[in-house]
Structures are given as C-alpha cells and as structure tokens.
Amino acid sequence: MSKMASLILEDGTTFKGLLFGADVSVSGEVVFQTGMVGYPEALTDPSYRCQLLTLTYPLVGNYGVPQDAEGEFGLSQWFESAKVHAAALIIGELSESPSHFSSVKSLDQWLKEQGIPGLQGIDTRSLTKKIREKGTMLGKLVVDGTPEDSIPFDNPDKRNLVQEVSMKVMWCSGTFIKDVLDR
C-alpha cells in the first residue's frame, strides 16, 4: 500500500497525493518546469537547490535513470551535477516500469537513493496556474503521520544558495584551481 502525503502551500492550499522516492517531509520554494523530457538533468541542476520542482508533463519516469558516465572534459554525460539538488519532485503520474535501453533504475529507486521525496497524483495544471498567478510561493511536502507544524516553511531566499552549490575546485587551462570561492 502506498503512503499518502500532501503539498501545502503558504496560502493554505493543499494538494494530496501518493508519496514515492524517500519517505521524508521537506519544504522550500515551489516551482514548475514545462519540459517533456530531461527530469534527470532538471533534478541535478543546481539552480533548483531547495525547490519543490513540479513537472507539468503528465507522465514522468518512463525512460528511467541512466548510469552516470563521464563525458567530454570529465563532466557527467547525463546529469548536471553529482547529486539531486531539488528538495522534492511533484508530478501528475509516475511511470513505474521504465523502458529505455540506457535505464539502470527507476525514478522512484533513484530518488530513494538520493533521499528526495516525490509526490504523484497532483493536478499539476492547477498548481502551475496558481504559481503563475500568485508568483513565488513557499510550500512543504508533508508525509502523512508527520505533524504539519513540525515542518516549517523554508525560504531559500534567506540563504546563500550560490555558495552552497558552487564548485570548490575548478578546471582551468589544463590545471585545477582549488578553493575558487575563497579567492
């Protein structure tokens, strides 16, 4: 039996759905992306740090998650960084049986490994419309059984997210420059 969870927006609007990924409650800024593909890239994009990422495409996870492979310049071929930066993933429907030759695991498995919760069964059109009309909104994904008031709204604007996601070492002209942020 699947566990239930809720997305609660700072204005009190609540969306109930099924939990997948990690069994953990989180909070942050609720944002959306309208791409049809690219969820591994979006989830590992540092620009989504501390955000509850809503994907508007109706079915997500159908091509699974590929094995990370090093591409040109020593960078990942399939991901934007070495870990998931989004705080949570919010979708309409999860494909539980990925079918792509490069898939090594399901989206659900990957999010569990990364400690990131997902919420499916959400009317992402309604949520996206609300965000478009109201602007930036804070939200929290609360797993059933967790007291709602134990998860405060986390405003990522009060932190230096650039410093949190910036590289500490940089490749430049054939050599590594260490402690880039300390200079």
25-84 pLDDT, tens per residue? 999 999 999 988 899 999 999 999 999 999 999 999 999 998 888 887 888 888 988 899
State residue 115's pLDDT score: 98
Lowest mean pLDDT among 45-54, 156-165, 172-181: 172-181
**Cβ burial 24-47 (10 Å sphere, 16+ → b, else e):** bbbbbbbbbbeeeeebbebbbbbe
Whole-angstrom Cα Rg for the chain: 17
Domain for residue 134, yes or no? yes
Domain for residue 171, yes or no? no
Query: 149 — alpha (psi -120 to 50), left (phi > 0) or beta?
Result: alpha
Domain for residue 120, yes or no? yes
Domain for residue 165, yes or no? no
Half-sphere exposure of 101 (CA within 13 A, CB side): 0
| Portion of the chain with pLDDT greater than 70, in percent | 86
Tokens at 24, concatenated: 């953990």
State residue 92's pLDDT score: 97
149 pLDDT above the threshold of 70: yes
Band of pLDDT at residue 90, cut at 50, 70 and 90: very high
Tell me the pTM: 0.87
Domain for residue 131, yes or no? yes
For residue 106, the domain's CATH number is 3.50.30.20
Domain for residue 169, yes or no? no
Mean pLDDT of the chain: 89
How many independent structural domains does the chain possess?
1
State residue 181's pLDDT score: 43
